[in-house]
Amino acid sequence: MWRRGRVCFWVELTPPCFLLRRHDDLKEMLDSNKDSLKLEAMKRIVAMIARGKNASDLFPAVVKNVACKNIEVKKLVYVYLVRYAEEQQDLALLSISTFQRGLKDPNQLIRASALRVLSSIRVTIIVPIMMLAIKEAASDMSPYVRKTAAHAIPKLYRCTPLKRVALTPAVRRLARVVLQLVAGSVVMAFEEVCPERIDLIHKNYRKLCNLLIDVEEWGQVVIINMLTRYARTQFLNPNINEGGGGEKTFYGSDEDEDEDEEEKEKKPYVMDPDHRLLLRNTKPLLQSRNAAVVMAVAQLYFHLAPKAEVGVIAKALVRLLRSHSEVQYVVLQNVATMTIKRRGMFEPYLKSFYIRSTDPTQIKILKLEVLTNLANETNISTILREFQTYIKSMDKDFVAATIQAIGRCATNIGEVRDTCLNGLVQLLSNRDELVVAESVVVIKKLLQMQPEKHSDIIKHMAKLTDNIQVPMARASILWLIGEYCEHVPKIAPDVLRKMAKSFTNEEDIVKLQIINLAAKLYLTNSKQTKLLTQYVLNLAKYDQNYDIRDRARFIRQLIVPTEKSGALSKYAKKLFLALKPAPVLESPFKDRDHFQLGSLSHLLNAKAGGYQELPDWPEAAPDPSVRNVEVKESVRAVGTVTYRDTAALRALRGPRKTEGGEGCSLLPVQQPGDGPGGLVPVRLRPFPGGTSRPPPPLSPSALLGLTAVSLPSQTIAPSSALKNYELLHRITGEGLSVEYCFSRQPFSPDANMVAVQMQFTNSATADTKNLHIEDAKLQSGMRVKEFPEIELLPAGETATAVMGIDFCDSTQAANFQLCTHTRKFFVSIQPPVGELMRSVFLTENEFKKEQGEAGTGGAVETESLLSFFLLFQKVTAAANLSRVPCGSDRECRFAGRTVTSGSLVLVTVATGEDGSAQLTVNCEKMVIGTMLVKDILLALTQ
C-alpha cells in the first residue's frame, strides 16, 4: 500500500516464487501413482486456463498422463492438450501414437477428444495421419465422434488448402448420415471445404428441412444460410409475375398489345413443393429464443418467400428490439435494408422504432433511418412530431442525424416540403452552432429543388455568414448565394466583400467557395464585383494550399479574357452557371440488399473474407427429381461374423432336400471353404421412409403368415418363454430375489413405455413389507412408471408387478432403488436393443415400398420346414419383430417399430446359392440398426 495525497492504493501481487511453488506441487501430483491426485491436479490446471492464466510450462508433466487409464483424467488431459497443442507442437508430436490409440478407444468421448487434439496440432508432417483419422471418424458409429470429425475437416483444410480434393469424400461420407447432432457441423464443413458441390445437398435437402427444428441453434443458423443459397439456384423466383410492369403510353402501340397478350398467356407461378417445404419448416423457428436463428429465418423469407408471405417476419424482428444493444444494432441494420423495398410489413410497428433516451447513439441513428424509410403521406405528421422532440436532445450527433432525416422526408414527400423547410429555417436561430450548420447544409439541398420560390430564405441565410463559424455551413451558404446570385443581386456582392476581408483566415473549403462566388459574380455583375474578384484571385494566388492556387489560376484564365486566353473563355458562363440537378437524398441502405442479409458483409457494406455471393434466380426451373431419394442414406455399415462350430451349425440347419424341394433355409451361412475363413458378409441398409398410419394389432396367425408355405397357427415366444434377467439375488437381497423380463405387451398407461414384468420371491423367514421403487436416476429424457407399492409379501410367497420404462430408444440402463420397510437395494435394468421395439404388421408390398431397393437375388439352397421355423424363432427371440408375408422362398422378412419414436425397423435374411447369407437391417436410427445386427447374428450362431 502506498499513499498519494488522500487516496490509498492497494496492490496485490503474486510473488513469482509462489507461482513456481504452486506449479511444482502440480507437477508432483501429476507424477503421482494415485489417480485421485492426478485428477485433482488436472482440475486445478483446467481452472487456471479458464481464468486466463498461463499453464504452458506444465505441458511436459501433463502430456505424460495422456495414456492414463482413468477416463476422467484422460478427458481433462485432452482438454489441456487442445489448448496448448499448437503452441507446444514438438512435445505434442511425441504423443501421436497415444492419440492414434485413443481413436480406437471404446469410449466415444475419448475417441472424439483424441481427434480434436490431433486436429489442433497444425503441423504439415502429420497431415496424412489426420486425413486417415478423419476418414475413420466420419464412419464412426457415434454421432458425437462424427460431429468432431466434421469440426476437424475445416481445421485441416485451413492448414493445407491443397488437400481440398481429398477432404471432399469425407464431407460426402458425413453427409450420407445426417442426424440432429451432426447436421450443423457437417454443413459448416461443407460450406468451408466444397460449397460449390451442390450435388451433395440434393439427396439431403428434404432431410435437412425436416431435421431443422431439432438441430442445435448454431447448427440451425448455418443450415438456414446454406439452404437460402441452395434455394436461389434450384427454384424459380416466387415474385416473377409481380414485377416488371412499367407505365404504359396513352396511345398503346401494336408492340404493347403483343406484350399484353404474351403476359395473359403466361401460366401462373406454381411453387415447387420443396420450396414450400423449406418455408414451412423454417417458419416455426421465428419463435426461437436465439436472435441469430430468428435473423437467419428472416433473411431466408426476405430472399425466398413470396411478397404476400414476407410480412410474418416483421413481428419476430420487432421482438428482438427488446434484446441487448448489440443485437438491436444488427437487427436494425437488416430492418433498415428491408424497409427500402418492403415498407408495408413494418408500418404496423411504427411505434416500436421510436427512440428512447437510454438508447446508444448508433441505435438512435439506425432507428431514425427506419422511421425515415417508413415515412409516407399518412404517418408523416406523427413522425415529424417525433423529430421535433429529438432535436432537443443533448446528443449532437443524433441531432445532426435527425436534421438530415427531416431533409430526406421533405425530399421524398412533396406535401411537407415547405413545412420542413420552415422548421429548418427556425433552427438557424439555435444557439448550438452544430445544429445551425447541419440545418444550413440540409436547407441548401432543399432549396435546389425550387430556388425561385425561396429567395427570402436565401437572403436570411446570407445574413448568417457573420455568426456561423462552422466551415461546412459557411461553405454551403456561399455556394447557395453564388449558385442563385441572380435571385439576390443586391446581397451577393456585399457577401463577397465581407468574405474578401476575412479570406486569409478562412478554412480551405470556405476559400474555394469564395473563389467560386467571385467568379460567378464576375460573370453576372462585373461592374460591381470586378475589383473584388481580382483582389480575391490575387490573395488566392499566393495561398499555402496548392489546390487553392491552382483553382485561382484556372479561373483567372477562364473568366478574365486576355490575348493568351484559350477558346474555353467563350464558354465560361456555360461552365459556371450551368443548371445543376437537385441532389437526391437517398438512404445509405438502398443498394445493400445485394449482400445476404444477416451476413458480416451486409453489416460492413463490403465483401468480407469467406463471403459467398447470393446467387441470382434461375431463368428456368432445374430438374426437381435430383432431390428424390429412393433409399435413405441414414444407416450403412459392413461387418463380418465367424462361425466356429461348423458341426453344430450343420445340425442347426437341418437336412437338405434333394432335387428341387421347396422351402427356406434355417441359417443361410457360408460353408467352410466357400469363402475366406468361413465369413458371412453382413450389410445394413437404410429404408426410405415411415408408413402413413399405425398398423393394426398383430395376431398369431398373421405372425406366421406365409405365401410359399403354410405353418400351423401358434404363438411364438409367449411371456412364459421370454428370457428372464436377474435384478436382485436372494443373497444380496437378504432373502428377497427379483427377476424381470420384457413382456412384449403394450403398457396400457403409456404406449411409449416398455413393459417390464417383475417377479418378487421372498425366501426369507420374515415377511417383506412396503415393497416399492424410489430415487430413479435416469438418463436425459427417460421416464419410469412405477408399479403400485406391494404392502405385504409373506415369507415363501411370490408376487408379480409390471412397471413401464421409457428408454428413449436407447440401451442406457435405468437405475433406481428397490426399497422395503427395512432396506434399500440399488438395482438397474438395461434393455437389449431388440426389446426397444414393438411388432407391427406389414404386407409384402408395404415392406418393399418402405425398404426400397435393398434385396439381393440368386439361387438358394432349400431347407426343411423345421429349419425355417427355428430361424423364425431365433430372430423373434432376439427382437420383438413380426413376420412379414413373403412370396419368395429365398427371404425371411420381419418388421417392427421402436417404442418411443416409432421409427420403422425392417429385417431381411436372404440366402445365396453357395450357402452364404445376407442380413439386411433398415432403420432410421443408425445405432439401433448396428446393435440389432450384432444381436441377431449372435442369436443365429448360438
Average pLDDT of span 69-88: 82
* Pairing relationship of beta strands 679-684 and 917-923 according to DSSP bridges: parallel
> 98: pLDDT confidence band, cut at 50, 70 and 90?
confident
**C-alpha cell, 514:** 469564395
Average pLDDT of span 620-626: 86
Answer for the pair 861, 665: CB distance below 8 angstroms, yes or no: yes
> pLDDT at position 721, please?
59
For residue range 801-858, list pLDDT tens digits in order: 999 998 888 888 888 888 888 888 888 898 999 999 998 888 888 888 887 643 333 2
In the chain, what is the greatest distance between 2 CA atoms, to the nearest angstrom?
137
> pLDDT at position 225, please?
92
To 10 degrees, what angle do helices 508-524 and 471-483 make?
Answer: 10
CA 169 from chain center: how many Å? 22
Terminal Cα-to-Cα distance of the chain (whole angstroms): 81
Query: What share of the chain in percent tops pLDDT 90?
Result: 13
CATH 3.90.550.10 assigned to 835-941: no
Average pLDDT of span 774-789: 77
Between CA 466 and CA 477 the distance in angstroms is 11
Answer for the pair 590, 327: CB distance below 8 angstroms, yes or no: no
Between CA 412 and CA 276 the distance in angstroms is 37
Does the pLDDT at position 408 exceed 80?
Answer: yes
Between CA 446 and CA 407 the distance in angstroms is 7
For residue range 318-368, list pLDDT tens digits in order: 999 998 999 999 999 999 999 988 888 899 999 999 999 889 999 999 999
> pLDDT at position 452, please?
66
- Using DSSP's 3-state secondary structure scheme, residue 607 falls into coil
Does the pLDDT at position 701 exceed 50?
Answer: no
- Domain 24-215 adopts which CATH fold? Leucine-rich Repeat Variant (1.25.10)
Closest CA to 673 of 942, 910, 915: 915
Between CA 830 and CA 77 the distance in angstroms is 31
Answer for the pair 728, 740: CB distance below 8 angstroms, yes or no: no
* DSSP bridge partners of 898: 837
Tell me which CATH homologous superfamily contains domain 724-833: Gamma-adaptin ear (GAE) domain (2.60.40.1230)
Taking the domains of the chain in order of start, what are their residue ranges?
24-215, 724-833, 835-941
> pLDDT at position 296, please?
94
> What backbone phi and psi angles, to 5 degrees, belong to 313?
-85, -15
Helix runs in 623-757, H state only: 646-653, 700-703
Average pLDDT of span 57-76: 82
> pLDDT at position 592, please?
82
Name the strands in the sheet holding 798-806, side by side, starting at the edge strand that comes first in the sequence. Answer: 725-728, 736-742, 754-762, 798-806, 783-785
Lowest-confidence segment of 348-357, 503-512, 581-590 by average pLDDT: 581-590
> pLDDT at position 169, please?
77
The burial of 396, by beta-carbon neighbours within 10 Å (0-12 exposed, 13-18 middle, 19 or more buried), is given as middle
Between CA 916 and CA 675 the distance in angstroms is 9
Average pLDDT of span 179-193: 83
Does the pLDDT at position 449 exceed 80?
Answer: no
For residue range 120-138, list pLDDT tens digits in order: 877 777 788 888 888 888 8
> 282: pLDDT confidence band, cut at 50, 70 and 90?
very high
Q: 525 or 285, which is more confident?
A: 285
Does the pLDDT at position 4 exceed 80?
Answer: no
> pLDDT at position 662, please?
34
For residue range 727-737, list pLDDT tens digits in order: 998 888 888 99
Closest CA to 460 of 443, 483, 475: 443
For residue range 259-271, list pLDDT tens digits in order: 555 554 556 678 8
